[in-house]
Structure 1
Amino acid sequence: MYQNKKITNLSHVLVWLMLFCLPYLLSYGQDQDVNRVVAHFWIPLAFSAIIFYFNYFVLIDRFLFPKKIIQFIVINILIIALFLFLKENIEDNFFKDIGKRRVQKDEGGGPSFKIAIYIQLLSYMAPLFFSIALKSTKRWIRTEAERKEAINFKLQSELQHLHYQLQPHFFFNSLNNIYALVDISPEQAKTSIHSLSKLMRYMLYETNMELVPLAKEIDFMKKYIDLMKLRVSDKTMVNYSFPSEETGIKIAPLLFISLIENAFKHGVSASKESTIQINMTLQDKVVSFTTENDNFPKKTDDKSGSGIGLPNIEKRLELLYPNKSSFKTSVIDNRYIAKLEIETN
């Protein structure tokens, strides 16, 4: 910020220096009447600079932006009238030769005094309008930056809320699975609790980053699938396939786990055979994740899950990967299919 301020100040100095040198630059190699340059160029330029900076630093913020338009216009009219009066008096008292030549020019058919005043008036209006334009642009840029910062803060807060929402949901479902094992197989229940502690450690300490390596997310999903497999009977077959090579791809954490939870929640039956298929493929930085399971809809009074998993995915995709993701679900031949595609680059 300090560096930008220095650059801005330097640019102002260079612009005004260029304007003050303009008469000599335009008439290089010709004789110059210094008094004429001072009277007709440097003095009006100094007045223009005063109008510009007085408006830029004082009047615009105090009157124009608060919509005190009449006061703003009146003050500027008085300032410009004062400078017109001062210029004429300075020329009459300190540059008499120029004043005489102006009178002779008027008598000889040159530009009239009224036209000269009109031109000077326009020359003083230019820095006024330029200061308004510059200040308004600067204010718009600042407002736009604040708006984007507010949107980003809201986005981060919403993502954080969704993240915290997912953690207890995951923990609750996992505890339900372990609870079901306590009477059936205490040893498996102990193993499950140990596995769950590792999964929760990943969720608590490694998923606070905006992006995590895909390899870590895959390892987390494999451990969770193995944990879920402990609960199901021999009637349920679980197959999964993940990329084995290191890809270097990073992705938002915990996007796929709800689909796996959903497959085990709705794809397992105590009396019927079923198959759960989980696949992930990579192609040109596009991650495709698919779950497919037999469709055994839960009863309305089933409390094995809170039902926030899939809506959570949709909301996070909308926030994290706008126009870079696709999420579709369908039921074909009583098989529930969920497909999620994410463009990671």
Structure 2
Amino acid sequence: MYHNKKITVFSHLLVWFVLFSMPYVLSYGQDQEIMRVFAHFWIPLVFYAIVFYLNYILLIDRYLFRKNTIAFVGINIVLISFFLLLREELESTFFQELVRKVPKNSEGSGPPFQMFIYVQMLSYMAPLLFAIAIKTTQRWVKTEAESKEAANFKLKSELQHLHYQLQPHFFFNSLNNIYSLVDISPEQAKSSIHSLSKLMRYMLYETNMEKVTLSKEIDFMKKYIDLMKLRVSDKTSVKYSFPSDNTGIQIAPLLFISLIENAFKHGVSASKESQIDIAMSCDGKTVLFNISNDNFPKKVADKSGSGIGLQNLEKRLALLYPDKYTFTNKVIDNRFFVTLAIETA
């Protein structure tokens, strides 16, 4: 802000320096009378500057932008009229030799006095309109900046809300899985609780950033898949494939976990054979994630199948990667297929 203020001050000084230098530049090589330059150029420029800065600093904000147009116009008419009279008085008092009076009864010797006043009034309109144009532009830029700041704040707030919504949802589903192991295999339940604590530590302390490395996200997904595999029977086959090399890709955290959760919720049967296939690959800075599972829809009364995870995912994708992702899902031969591609750059 301080830097921008210095640039603004420098720009104003430069403009007025150029304007005050124009008489010398335009009359270069000709006889120059300093008194003529002073009377006909510098004095009007000083008046123009006063009109400009009075409006720029005070009058436009106080009257024009507050819809008090009549007062604004009236003050400027009085101000310009005062400077016109003052200029006439200065020229007739201090610069008599430079001012050639036009005889009242002569014809063709010069423009009528009314026309002279009209032209002078128009000349004072230039700094006035210029001040209005600059202030209006500055106000528009400020409004746009505030609008963008408000939009960014709203975006961050909504993303934070979705993030906080995901954490208890994830924790609730994981606890349900562990609960089912307590009576069947207490040792596995203990191991699952330990694994869950590591996963929650990641969610609480490492996912508050806007982006994390893809390798960390992959490690989180592997641990979660291993945790989920503890509760499924031998009739369920779970296969996954992730990039083994460090891709250097940065990505928003917890985007894929909802898809994996969904596969275990809707793709596993206690009595039938089922299979979950998970694959991730990278093409440059694009991350491609595919997951497929058998389709065993939950009953309406089963709240664990409410689909909050997928709704959350689609909202986050729309906010984080607008026009930079594709998300499709379909059922073919009673298998549910999901494809998610994200351009991270």
- With the shorter chain as reference, the TM-score category is over 0.9
Structure 2: distance between partners of 1:201 and 1:164? 14
**Aligned letter for 2:173?**
N
Map residues 153-168 of structure 1 onto 2, 5 A cutoff: 153-168=153-168
Given that residues 298 and 305 in structure 2 are in contact (C-alpha distance below 8 angstroms), is that contact kept between their aligned partners in structure 1? Answer: no
Secondary structure at the counterpart of residue 96 of structure 1: coil
Secondary structure at the counterpart of residue 288 of structure 1: strand
Structure 2: distance between partners of 1:304 and 1:10? 65
Q: TM (normalized to structure 2)? A: 0.97
Given that residues 317 and 325 in structure 2 are in contact (C-alpha distance below 8 angstroms), is that contact kept between their aligned partners in structure 1? Answer: yes
Q: Tell me the residue number matched to 2:127.
A: 127
Q: Tell me the residue number matched to 2:266.
A: 266
Q: Tell me the residue number matched to 2:185.
A: 185
Map residues 64-213 of structure 1 onto 2, 5 A cutoff: 64-100=64-100, 109-213=109-213
Q: Tell me the residue number matched to 1:245.
A: 245
Secondary structure at the counterpart of residue 234 of structure 2: coil
Structure 2: distance between partners of 1:174 and 1:200? 10
How far residue 35 of structure 1 moved from its aligned partner, in angstroms, is 2.2
How far residue 108 of structure 1 moved from its aligned partner, in angstroms, is 5.8
Given that residues 285 and 343 in structure 2 are in contact (C-alpha distance below 8 angstroms), is that contact kept between their aligned partners in structure 1? Answer: yes
CA RMSD of aligned residues (A): 1.5
How far residue 112 of structure 1 moved from its aligned partner, in angstroms, is 3.5
**Percent identity (aligned):** 70
Given that residues 279 and 290 in structure 1 are in contact (C-alpha distance below 8 angstroms), is that contact kept between their aligned partners in structure 2? Answer: yes
Structure 2: distance between partners of 1:90 and 1:103? 20
Given that residues 215 and 246 in structure 2 are in contact (C-alpha distance below 8 angstroms), is that contact kept between their aligned partners in structure 1? Answer: yes
Q: TM (normalized to structure 1)? A: 0.97
How far residue 188 of structure 1 moved from its aligned partner, in angstroms, is 0.5
**Which moved further from structure 2: 2-11 or 175-184?**
2-11
Given that residues 262 and 309 in structure 1 are in contact (C-alpha distance below 8 angstroms), is that contact kept between their aligned partners in structure 2? Answer: yes
Given that residues 169 and 306 in structure 1 are in contact (C-alpha distance below 8 angstroms), is that contact kept between their aligned partners in structure 2? Answer: no
Q: Tell me the residue number matched to 1:227.
A: 227
Q: Deviations over 1:36-83 (max 9, x none)?
A: 212211111111000000001111001000111111111111111111
Secondary structure at the counterpart of residue 272 of structure 2: coil
**Which moved further from structure 2: 94-103 or 262-271?**
94-103
Structure 2: distance between partners of 1:20 and 1:176? 81
Q: Deviations over 1:140-187 (max 9, x none)?
A: 111111110000000000000000000000000000000000011111
Q: Deviations over 1:257-283 (max 9, x none)?
A: 000000000000011000000111111
Structure 2: distance between partners of 1:196 and 1:108? 100
| Residue 48 of structure 1 pairs with residue 62 of structure 2 | no
Q: Deviations over 1:2-54 (max 9, x none)?
A: 12211211211121111111100111121112222122111111110000000
Structure 1: distance between partners of 2:81 and 2:103? 21
Structure 2: distance between partners of 1:83 and 1:283? 71
Structure 2: distance between partners of 1:344 and 1:253? 12
Structure 1: distance between partners of 2:281 and 2:243? 6
Secondary structure at the counterpart of residue 289 of structure 2: strand
| Residue 334 of structure 1 pairs with residue 338 of structure 2 | no
Structure 2: distance between partners of 1:304 and 1:84? 82
Structure 2: distance between partners of 1:181 and 1:100? 108
How far residue 307 of structure 1 moved from its aligned partner, in angstroms, is 2.5
Given that residues 233 and 270 in structure 2 are in contact (C-alpha distance below 8 angstroms), is that contact kept between their aligned partners in structure 1? Answer: yes
Given that residues 295 and 334 in structure 2 are in contact (C-alpha distance below 8 angstroms), is that contact kept between their aligned partners in structure 1? Answer: yes
Structure 1: distance between partners of 2:301 and 2:26? 88
Secondary structure at the counterpart of residue 100 of structure 1: coil
Structure 1: distance between partners of 2:179 and 2:245? 36
Structure 2: distance between partners of 1:132 and 1:102? 36
Q: Tell me the residue number matched to 1:314.
A: 314
Structure 2: distance between partners of 1:102 and 1:190? 108
How far residue 306 of structure 1 moved from its aligned partner, in angstroms, is 4.4
Structure 1: distance between partners of 2:5 and 2:286? 43
**Aligned letter for 1:338?**
V
Structure 2: distance between partners of 1:113 and 1:39? 19
How far residue 119 of structure 1 moved from its aligned partner, in angstroms, is 2.1
Q: Deviations over 1:200-244 (max 9, x none)?
A: 000000000000000000000000000000000001000001011
Map residues 296-311 of structure 1 onto 2, 5 A cutoff: 296-311=296-311
Secondary structure at the counterpart of residue 111 of structure 2: coil
**Aligned letter for 1:84?**
L
Matched length:
345
